[in-house]
Each structure stands twice: as structure tokens, then as C-alpha cells.
Structure 1
Amino acid sequence: MLYRFKSKASGDVVMLEPTGRRVLEILGKDPAAPGIILPEQMPAAIEALRAAVAAEEAEAERQRQEAQARGEEPPVPPEERVPLRTRVAPFIEMLQHCQREQCEVVWGV
């Protein structure tokens, strides 16, 4: 399944189901239903995504340090995973652009 985020102010952003579901959960939206993010909701949405990115990076660093202290390799080598930061960057850009243009973002419609 794909999530396609659409707006009149920008091109579509398409995410595979696991990432799209995670993004919507971060935003407090129901992943199973069509939805909308209004321009006035976008600053909070952007901040929530950035906070999730920071939390993921902090957890990855904590795991790396713990593994290093035990003399082991990290659970998932950094070069083998795509971080949330990379996955949500186009969506954050979309939200920023749509906020400037005062245009909503929709999905599932």
C-alpha cells in the first residue's frame, strides 16, 4: 500500500505503507482514514516530525554507544538503514511550502 500526500501548492509526496503510517501516527492522525492537514496545523506537524527525528537519532546513538561499550557492532549498521530524517524530509518540505501558500495537504482521497 502507498500513502499519497497531495496539495494544490506542490507535487505529491508518496510513501510506502510503513513510513506513511508512522508519519501519520507521529502527527496524531488516523492512518486508516483519509485526512487533511490545514495550514494552521502545519507548524505543529513539522515540529512533531522534527522531534521524532531527534528521538530516533538519540536512540540510535544510545544503541551505538552501548554496543561499543560491550565491544560489539551496533544492532543495525548506519549504512544499512534509511533514517527517519531522510524519509520525512520531502514531506517536511511539502508542509513548509504549503504553509507559506496557505494550502492544505490531503491523503486518502
Structure 2
Amino acid sequence: MLYKFKSRATADVIMLESNGRQVLEIVGKTPGASGIITVQQIPAAIEALEAAVADDDARRKASHEEQAQDGEQDSAAAGARDAVSLRQRAAPMIDMLRRSAAENSDVTW
């Protein structure tokens, strides 16, 4: 399944199910086939996503520093660093939410 987020203010944002579910859970929405983030809920959704991104960045940085101190250079550790971060996955959604708030538009899926 794919999540297709829509707003009158932007182009659609399409996410794989696991990524869309993660974003919806972060903003406090129940993942499902359809739903809405109202204009009134958008500021809190942006704040929640940005906080989750900051937490993920800090966790990834700490993990990287720990591996560097331990001298780990195996391929699994390198693969984890190269994985797509929450910052990269959430950026299109955060942009959609900001533009939607500016144009007073809800976001649906």
C-alpha cells in the first residue's frame, strides 16, 4: 500500500506504507486508508515532525560517534549510516504542511 497525501496548496506526496505510517504516528494520527490533518492541526504536526527529526538526528550522530570510538568499520555499520534518515523522509511532508498552512488548506490521505 502507498500513502498519497494531498493538499490544494501543493503537489501530492507519495510514501510507502511503512514511511507513511511512521509520519502519521508521529503527528498523532491513526494510520488508515484515509484521514485529514486540518489547518488547525498543522502547526502541531509540523512541530511533532521537527522534534522527531531532531531526535533521530541526535540518535544517528551518537551511534556514529560510538562506532567511531569503537573502531567499527564493518559493512553493516556503514550501511546504517547510509540509510535514508527520517529527516530525508519527512522533508516533503513538512514542506507540504507549511505550504498548506500558508494557503489555509487541509492535508488529506
Give the TM-score of the pair, scaled to structure 2: 0.89
Q: How does 1:4-83 map to 2 (within 5 A)?
A: 4-73=4-73, 75=77, 76-78=79-81, 80-83=82-85
For the aligned residues, what is the CA RMSD? Answer: 1.4
- Find 1:102's aligned residue among 92, 101, 104: 104
% identical equivalent positions: 50
CA distance in 2, matches of 1:90, 1:65: 28
Structure 1 residue 7: deviation in Å?
1.2
Unaligned segments of structure 1, at least 5 residues: none
Aligned to 1:90: 92
Return structure 1 stretches of 4+ with deviation > 4 angstroms.
Answer: none
